[in-house]
Amino acid sequence: MKTTQIVLLGYMGSGKTAVGESLHKQLQMEFLDLDYYIEQKFNTPVTAIFEQKGELFFRAEERNALEELLQRDTPLILSLGGGTPCYYDTMEYLKGFDKLKTFYLQTGIGTLSERLEKAKRTRPLLAHLKDLDQIKEFVGKHLFERNPFYLQADYKIVTDHKSVETVALEIQNTLT
Ligand code: S3P
């Protein structure tokens, strides 16, 4: 069955949005970023949703938004938030769609930490961390907890030392 829904998942900073945009250009399919969709829906940045309503509210709305988008049943490239696969039964839920494939963008702790040090401001879960060493320690533990969810993806794409275009091409090569 032809894949018409491509779902990108992985830790914060793994390049989900950039790879999604590249696939969008190459495949001419609609691309949506789940965080961006939620921000538009609530007219509020994710960091402010966390601050004002708390993480549990965000997780529930994140799942609602995912269901809204997938129930449309239209061709779509969707990048999830880093935590989306790790709450509720989301990985099981994603497996229920015949034409949907999930891709785990797997990136090493060192690369993730360096990227996230620069982009910490927009990541509420990292706001309390003071320096690169603290970020590395946090990311290492967090990734260990999340990997069991991420590794349930249909494909694992290692992204270290690869360009966004190369990662996008590897994804395209798996599509039938
Ligand atoms: C989160 C990742 C973020 C965003 C929120 C929580 C997480 O998305 O959904 O800050 O729990 O890993 P990105 O992975 O796009 O940064």
User: Is 26 a residue whose pLDDT tops 90?
Assistant: yes
pLDDT in tens, 68-81: 999 998 999 999 99
At the topology level of CATH, where does 5-175 sit? Rossmann fold (3.40.50)
Among protein residues, the one whose CA lies closest to atom 9 of ligand 1: 81
CB atoms closer than 10 angstroms to residue 60: 13
Ligand 1 contact via 123 beta carbon (within 6 Å): yes
Residue 1 scores a pLDDT above 90: no
pLDDT at 150: 98
Residue 107's pLDDT is 98
Best residue among 8, 9, 12 to mutate for probing ligand 1's pocket (most ligand atoms within 8 Å of CB) is 12
Question: Which of these, 7, 11, 34, 38, lies nearest to 23 by C-alpha position?
Answer: 7
Report which secondary-structure segment, H or E, holds 33. Answer: strand 31-33
Q: Please tell me the predicted confidence (pLDDT) of residue 142.
A: 98
pTM for this model (two decimals): 0.97
pLDDT at residue 78, rounded to an integer? 98
Reply yes or no on whether the pLDDT at 24 is more than 80.
Answer: yes
CB atoms within 10 A of CB 174: 13
- Cβ of 125 closer than 6 Å to ligand 1, yes or no, is yes
**In the structure encoding, which two tokens stand for residue 151, read together?**
């590794």
Which residues, listed in sequence order, are joined to residue 6 by a DSSP beta bridge? Answer: 77, 101
Ligand 1 centroid to residue 1 C-alpha, Å: 31
* Domain boundary assignment for the chain: 5-175
Give the angle subtended at the CA of 164 by the CAs of 161 and 166, to the nearest 5°: 75
